[in-house]
Amino acid sequence: MDKSLQVICMGLMSHFGLIFFIYPERIIASTHKGHWEPILIQCVIFILFLWLYLKGLSYFPEKNIISILKILGKAFSFTLLFPVLLYLVITTIELVSAYAEVTNIIFLANTPTWAIITLMILISTYIAVKGIETILRTALLIFCIFFPLILLMLSICFQDIDWHNAFPIMDTDFSFFRQPPYYTSFFSFAIVFSFLGFLPKKISYNSKKIMFAVFLLIPFFFLSVYLPLLTFGNETASTLLFPFITTLDKVQLQWLIFDRATLFFALSLVTFIMLLTSLLLWQSSIIMNQYFPGLKQKYHIVALSVSIFIICLCIPSWQETEKLLWWNTAFRFYILIVLPLIIFLIGVRRKRLS
């Protein structure tokens, strides 16, 4: 049965959770003009390597990424997948730490961070233990509930913009390539659609529909950056920790019955992140189950969750989370560029030999 809609909702929802919090600050910090240039380059890289990934997977309709890499030998496949496992675990730690901090800042100021981390991990672990079909069905339900709210919040942000703040519109020396924040901003691209290679054969999807959904997603990357820029200007926006959230918080609507629209927007994004966290735990358990047999998959998930919880408690501040984002850069480009290329080349080789 075609599950393309559920897969697309999972991918889009996860991207929304990543785009609107950390991504705008990273891009604005990487350049003071021509912000569309770094975003466009990232989108082109993302689309190209996602297409290679999907094309490579299409050569093996009955196999997941682990079975494909085992063609090269079990030891070699483990060598290729171990960085993926590390990235999945480290990214889960980053997500839980970062969004627990965000939740604490925005609407649970009197709640200890450890309590928020506990809640996020418990919910994510429960969904992950239930399996990928539960994750995808939940993604479809949550997406249908919250996506109209996101569109509404984006539309009301336009009331305070000043188009003059878009200038200067060109960065002719491409200075953002020399800025570390630019490379950490790939955080919003690298991880999400990797789960396509882990799906069991009973969950089928249409690659063309996936690529079409990705093209629909691209404008949201530009909106997440340009709405704060057009509202505050580059000089002010560059000083903000969460530019888009601050932009939304600035909006005053007399007809809205709630005091702060930001609360509901942030709540929807944190919900997205908890589901993404459950997906990352499920992916990690798939790898561990293949190479570390002896335990059921659900016990791998629980063990990972406990380990991640302990590590998150040891991260003292937002500054340490930012350092983790930078240290994880090499793994990020491995899963974004190297892994899709390997899968594609294995698929091409198989096609030529068949």
Q: What string of DSSP letters covers 56-69? A: HHHT-TT--HHHHH
Q: What is the mean pLDDT of residues 142-162?
A: 85
The dihedrals phi and psi of 275, each to the nearest 5 degrees, come to: -70, -40
- Please report which confidence band the pLDDT of residue 256 belongs to, taking 50, 70 and 90 as the band edges: low
Which phi and psi (to 5°) does residue 172 adopt? -70, -25
Tell me, what's the pLDDT at 253?
A: 63
> What are 97-123's pLDDT values in tens digits?
888 888 887 777 778 888 889 999 999
In this predicted model, what pLDDT tens digit does every residue of 63-99 receive, in sequence order?
Answer: 889 888 888 888 888 889 999 999 999 999 989 988 8
User: What three-state secondary structure class fits 2?
Assistant: strand
Q: What percent of the chain has pLDDT over 90?
A: 38
The pLDDT mean for the chain works out to 87
pLDDT for 42 equals 94
| pTM over the 0.85 mark | yes
User: Going from the N-terminus, what domains does the chain have, and what CATH number goes with each?
Assistant: 4-353 (1.20.1740.10)
pLDDT level of residue 322 (50, 70, 90 thresholds): confident
Segment 14-33 mean pLDDT: 89
Compute CA distances 109 → 105, 190, 248, whole Å. Answer: 6, 31, 19
How sure is the predictor about 295, in pLDDT bands with cuts at 50, 70 and 90? confident
* 24-42 as b/e: b if 16+ CB within 10 A: bbbbbbbbeebbbbbbeeb
Structure tokens at 166: 């878009």
Q: Can you give the pLDDT at residue 124?
A: 93
